[in-house]
Amino acid sequence: MKRKILLTALMASGWATAQSMPEDFADMTVLLPDAVYDIRYYGNHNFVGSPVEGYLAPKCILQGKAAKALVKVAQQAAEQGYKLKVFDCYRPTQAVAHFMRWAQDLSDTATKAEYYPNLAKDKLVGEYIAERSGHSRGATVDLTLMQQDAQGAWQELDMGSAFDMFDPLSNTEHPEISELQRENRYTLRSLMEAQGFANYAMEWWHYSLSDQPYPDTYFGFPVQ
Region 185-193 average pLDDT: 98
The annotation status of 45 as a binding-site residue, yes or no, is no
The annotation status of 174 as a binding-site residue, yes or no, is no
Interval 73-87: pLDDT, tens: 999 999 999 999 999
Q: Where are the domains of the chain?
A: 2-209
Cα 108 to Cα 47: distance, rounded to the nearest angstrom:
11
Cα 207 to Cα 165: distance, rounded to the nearest angstrom:
16
Region 17-26 average pLDDT: 81
CA 66 to chain CA centroid, Å, is 12
Maximum Cα–Cα distance across the chain: 57
> Of 142, 207, 199, 202, which Cα lies nearest the Cα of 174?
202
The CATH code belonging to domain 2-209 is 3.30.1380.10
- Write down the pTM of the prediction: 0.91
**Polymer length in residues for the chain:** 224
3-class DSSP assignment, residue 144? strand
Interval 191-213: pLDDT, tens: 999 999 999 999 999 999 999 99
Contact 162, 40 (CB under 8 A): no
Interval 87-126: pLDDT, tens: 999 999 999 999 999 999 999 999 999 999 999 999 999 9
Interval 132-181: pLDDT, tens: 999 999 999 999 999 999 999 999 999 999 999 999 999 999 999 999 99
Q: Which residues are catalytic?
A: 203
Region 61-67 average pLDDT: 98
The annotation status of 98 as a binding-site residue, yes or no, is no
